[in-house]
Amino acid sequence: MKITVSLIIPVYNAEKTLDRCIESIQSQTFTDWEIILIDDGSQDKSADICDKYAISDTRIHVFHQKNGGVSSARNTGIRTAKGQYLMFIDSDDTIEVTFLADYIAAIQSMKADVVV
């Protein structure tokens, strides 16, 4: 499977928002993506939620680590990403259904190295 975008999501005690975040990515019109969830030592049910999604969708990968902060979690995601492009999303974010399609279109049309 081709992976165009690796979405890196640091997760820390996000049980109230994590489902909504992941499901907004799963509903994208653009499907050549992987989600990398980094459970950064959560003390709530976030780790279980991450594992549940990884079991049900092969595009979702989970890494559990001791709490090291958001930068440490993002670095773990960067090291494991397989996509051509990287995107950081927070565990309390949601994205519109065409967000990734628009993101890739912007990169390609502008020959951009970075899209903000």
What pLDDT sits at residue 99?
A: 97
Q: Is 101 exposed, middle or buried, given 0-12, 13-18 or 19+ CB atoms closer than 10 A?
A: middle
Q: What average pLDDT does the segment 47-61 reach?
A: 98
pLDDT digits over 8-31, tens only? Answer: 999 999 999 999 999 999 999 999
| Rounded-to-integer distance, Cα 73 and Cα 64, Å | 9
What is the end-to-end Cα distance of the chain in Å, rounded? 26
Query: pLDDT class for 112, splitting at 50, 70, 90?
Result: confident
* Own/partner long-range contacts of 93-97 (Cβ < 8 Å, ≥24 apart): 93/21, 93/24, 94/20, 94/21, 94/24, 95/24, 95/25, 95/28, 96/24, 97/24, 97/27, 97/28, 97/29
Query: pLDDT class for 64, splitting at 50, 70, 90?
Result: very high
- The answer, yes or no, to whether residue 1 has pLDDT greater than 80, is no
- The answer, yes or no, to whether residue 116 has pLDDT greater than 90, is no
- The answer, yes or no, to whether residue 59 has pLDDT greater than 70, is yes
Give the Cβ contact number of residue 5 at 10 Å.
22
What pLDDT sits at residue 40?
A: 98
What pLDDT sits at residue 115?
A: 81
